[in-house]
Amino acid sequence: MNTFESFGLQKEILKAIQEMGFESPTPIQSKTIPHLLSSDQDLIAFAQTGTGKTAAFGLPAIEKTDVENKNTQTIILCPTRELCLQITRDLNNFSKYIKGFSTVAVYGGANIETQIRELKRGAQIVVGTPGRTKDLINRGRLKLGNVKRLILDEADEMLTMGFKDDLDAILAETPKEKQSLLFSATMSKEIVSITKKYMTEAVEISAATKNTGADNVKHIYYMVHARDKYEVLKRIADINPNIYGIVFCRTRRETKEIANKLMSDGYNADALHGDLSQAQRDEVMGRFRSRHLQILVATDVAARGLDVQDLTHIINFNLPDDTEVYVHRSGRTARAGKKGISIAIIHTRDSRKIRDIEKRFKITFTKELVPSGKDICTKQLYSLIDKMEKVEVDESQIGPFLPAIYKKLEWLSREELIKHFVSAEFNRFLSYYKNAKDINVSSRGNDDKKDRPGRNDSNDGRSRRERSRDRDKDKGRERSRSNSSFSRIFINVGQKDDLNPARLIGIVNDALRSSDAEIGKIDILRKFSFFEVDKKVAPQLIKALKGKDFDGVSLVVESAQDKPDYSSSTKSKGSKQDSYSKGKRDKKDRNKSRSSDGNRRKTRRR
């Protein structure tokens, strides 16, 4: 069995990692560290967050650094400022007993002049996000001419976020003779392209287990109407008094709305989204890491690079469009052999997504009933009693007050005193859940037929016609909200061009040079696609994307606000232009088609 001592690391490093609690190397560390200490050959490593990859590349980089040389010898690039700061903290901890060693983090959202001063004092290792790193290179403040090691951490995420051009520009500034290390969770076409362009005869290493937490995650889903999703979220929090988790939402707007509702209702929660300044973001994350917050509501983009230990729950307020994103989300819990729970709050139309995730990733979901009011009150009551039993009593502090308290309560018997105490702490739950209704909805799949109510019955007491009417209202409201704040865009690439939602978001972010643009509904068809983007940036985006190259295809990007919606049909005959030209039907024909569809829906309801 390998040990850190057997790797031959210097005693200063061994002392530091022993103090950090490192006992035995993880699989990726056991395979990577010996190679990097003994060879300058390029390396491609497949590993996800939580596998110990920072130590896998960080310890050898520190070991091989010449502390007498103040020039930058290692450059580490990563997708987000949170990950950048996390890597820097780890490297500082690993090297704290090495005199003359310096690591500097460079990232957007912070004062660039401060970072320039730190670089000027000397930094043997620089950890940076692509945008700020490129900016400092262009200003002549970050010089990479003496770099011996280039490390790309979470390379797939950087490409997904649209940093390919920045990476190309940065890599071009590094010496040809250097060791290149690439760490990624997946092997996409873009990753292959980078390895071919910038790496030579690279060794490939993969951890035996990508993320051991995946085996310890329980996957469950609750099926409810869209209007009841927030109620489900509250019940999840109430049935788990010690919850410590992340709630994932689709958009910044939804993130803020849900977090504000939770805080207004007295829950220990806050939001993490793109509208926060760096100082605000650091303050929120500081409170969450210290457990002063129990629930963090976030978008996938805002949560990238976060590495928080001991999460009990991951809650998908909305399932992601890309099934692989679900796996990344759920992998944030159940770290280091502990157990965790990943919850999806879905509607019947999401059943297909659940089946897709199960089939693709060999995951088994359990459908559970939303906790009832009685269940929640029982759990909260016993939690209160447990807390009372375990509370520490400091006689020296409360002793002077006890005589007056005893006298005040002497008229109450033991049983009455317990009733008063419990009621004082517990009446809020009893009152709120007194008449709590059953909000579960049965799916229409064969696997849930045994749970389905009668023809005109439902768990919430409404007829099929009423439920159908409410669904139409919900869809109408969603369309209304969408139309009011988003512009619908046509783009001439689709499934046949290997476009997926993640790559489309990367294209948008790359074109706008920002990841803050709000993106709505995405419809990826075979030969072309439609997506919604914030109206404020739509003209800029169309201008920026026109004529750009996407895997050899010259992009055609147009406003599709008044064009028909083809998202219901993925089978498109003829060329892209033929399919898209169908939108030139006159208004009378379109209205006639809509009327016919409406009549068919009414016939089915009867």
Residue type, 401: F
SS3 of the chain: helix, strand, coil, percent, to 5: 50, 15, 35
Spatial separation of the C-alpha atoms in residues 468 and 496, rounded to whole Å: 35
Residues of the chain with CATH 3.40.50.300: 5-206, 212-372
Confidence tier at 51 by pLDDT (50, 70, 90) = confident
Instruction: Give the residue carrying structure tokens 């009551």.
Output: 381
Mark out the alpha helices in 240-276 (DSSP H runs).
252-264
Confidence tier at 336 by pLDDT (50, 70, 90) = low
- pLDDT tens digits, 217-237: 999 999 999 899 999 999 999
Confidence tier at 214 by pLDDT (50, 70, 90) = low
Confidence tier at 579 by pLDDT (50, 70, 90) = very low
- The radius of gyration of the chain's CA atoms, rounded to the nearest angstrom, is 28
Residues 6+ apart with CB under 8 A from 24: 1, 2, 3, 4
Longest CA pairwise span in the chain (Å): 89
What CATH number is given for 5-206 in this structure? Answer: 3.40.50.300
Res. 73: pLDDT tops 90: yes
Q: What pLDDT shows up at residue 467? A: 52
Cβ neighbourhood burial of 406 (10 Å; 0-12, 13-18, 19+)? exposed
- Whether 5 and 14 have beta carbons less than 8 Å apart is answered as yes
Of 265, 317, 312, 294, residue with least CA distance to 429: 265
Q: What pLDDT shows up at residue 471? A: 54
Q: What pLDDT shows up at residue 185? A: 73
* Second-level CATH architecture of 485-604: 2-Layer Sandwich (3.30)
- The domain defined by 212-372 folds into Rossmann fold (3.40.50)
**What is each CA distance from 533 to 84, 118, 300, 519, in whole angstroms?**
29, 39, 17, 5
Spatial separation of the C-alpha atoms in residues 87 and 100, rounded to whole Å: 19
Residues of the chain with CATH 3.30.70.330: 485-604
Q: What pLDDT shows up at residue 563? A: 52
pTM for the model stands at: 0.53
**What is each CA distance from 137 to 132, 161, 168, 381, in whole angstroms?**
9, 21, 13, 59
Spatial separation of the C-alpha atoms in residues 480 and 489, rounded to whole Å: 17
Q: What pLDDT shows up at residue 244? A: 96
Spatial separation of the C-alpha atoms in residues 450 and 261, rounded to whole Å: 35
Instruction: Give the residue carrying structure tokens 């074109």.
Output: 511
- pLDDT tens digits, 23-50: 788 888 999 999 999 999 999 998 766 6
Give me the helix-helix angle, 53-63 and 81-94, nearest 10°: 50
Q: What pLDDT shows up at residue 513? A: 74
Res. 578: pLDDT tops 80: no
Confidence tier at 462 by pLDDT (50, 70, 90) = very low
**What is each CA distance from 362 to 215, 219, 289, 354, 356, in whole angstroms?**
11, 11, 31, 11, 10
Work out the percent of the chain whose per-residue pLDDT is above 90: 39
- Joined tokens for residue 446: 């064969």
Neighbours of 97 (CB within 10 A): 14
Res. 567: pLDDT tops 90: no
Residue bearing the bigger pLDDT, 370 or 563: 370
Q: In whole numbers, what is the pLDDT of the chain averaged over residues? A: 81
Q: What pLDDT shows up at residue 48? A: 65
Confidence tier at 547 by pLDDT (50, 70, 90) = confident
Residues 6+ apart with CB under 8 A from 520: 251, 482, 485, 486, 531, 532, 533
Neighbours of 29 (CB within 10 A): 25
- Whether 371 and 342 have beta carbons less than 8 Å apart is answered as no
- Whether 73 and 65 have beta carbons less than 8 Å apart is answered as yes
Residue bearing the bigger pLDDT, 105 or 362: 105
Confidence tier at 195 by pLDDT (50, 70, 90) = confident
Q: What pLDDT shows up at residue 50? A: 64
Collapsing DSSP states into helix, strand and coil, what is residue 592?
A: helix
Residues 6+ apart with CB under 8 A from 56: 26, 28, 29, 32, 33, 45, 47, 183
Residue bearing the bigger pLDDT, 90 or 449: 90
Q: What pairs with residue 524 in β-bridges?
A: 529
DSSP readout, 374-437? HHHHHHHHHHHHHHHHH----HHHHGGGHHHHHHHHTTS-HHHHHHHHHHHHHHHHHHHTTTPP
Q: What pLDDT shows up at residue 209? A: 42
Neighbours of 351 (CB within 10 A): 18
Spatial separation of the C-alpha atoms in residues 256 and 297, rounded to whole Å: 8
Mark out the alpha helices in 275-394 (DSSP H runs).
278-289, 300-303, 323-330, 351-361, 373-390
Q: What pLDDT shows up at residue 477? A: 46
Q: What pLDDT shows up at residue 233? A: 97
Q: What pLDDT shows up at residue 593? A: 37
